[in-house]
Amino acid sequence: MTNPQSTPEAVVWVAIDIAKDRHEALIEAPGWKSRKKFRVQNTAEEFRAFAEFLHGLALPVRIGFEPTGNYHRALAYFLHSEGFSLELISSLALARTREAMHNSWDKNDPKDAQVILHLLKGRLTQHFHDPLVHNLNDLQELSKTHHQVSLEKTRTQHRIRMWRRTTRSAAARWISGPLGMPGTR
């Protein structure tokens, strides 16, 4: 028999747009008349204050963010260690949804936070697995190193090919110059 659930669980939704120096957070909680915007600097003190605020809401908190370079790692590690549920938002999904919602591809932080919140509430997310917490950091770093070595190998092969082409054409011009082969006057 089906067990219908008439009222959804009360959850605080937090969407964070990650950046290098500061993160833009948009929070929606049950009972609030409007969403609240927060700007969190990329410092431990700001992280602690933000976590204390979220703990003070006394409701389950679901946090969504788009991983951006390595800038998300410090905040994600801190929030995970504080016991919050973290969700990843795909960059491609974010871009396509932003374009559909705002009829523009224009990227700015307040719009991104709104789109992240929309995707988070629709549960169009992936669970965040922190490599440090799950002891995958070495494997991830090894994978990144392999990627960089592969890129450098490809670049070197292209340089060699270009060098061969240029030296062959230079030699051909030298040989077939106006005087012909050197030493054959």
Average pLDDT over residues 61-70: 85
For the chain, list the strands marked E by DSSP: 12-17, 22-28, 36-41, 61-65, 85-88, 126-127
Fold (CATH) for 12-135: Nucleotidyltransferase; domain 5 (3.30.420)
The answer, yes or no, to whether residue 177 has pLDDT greater than 90, is no
Give dist(CA 57, CA 105) in Å, integer: 34
Average pLDDT over residues 160-179: 75
Q: Which residues contact 185 (CB under 8 A, 6 or more apart)?
A: 179
Per the model's pLDDT, the better-predicted residue between 25 and 91 turns out to be: 25
Other residues' Cβ atoms within 10 Å of the Cβ of residue 82: 15
Give dist(CA 182, CA 173) in Å, integer: 12
Is 0.85 surpassed by the pTM of this model? no
pLDDT grade for 140, boundaries at 50, 70 and 90:
low
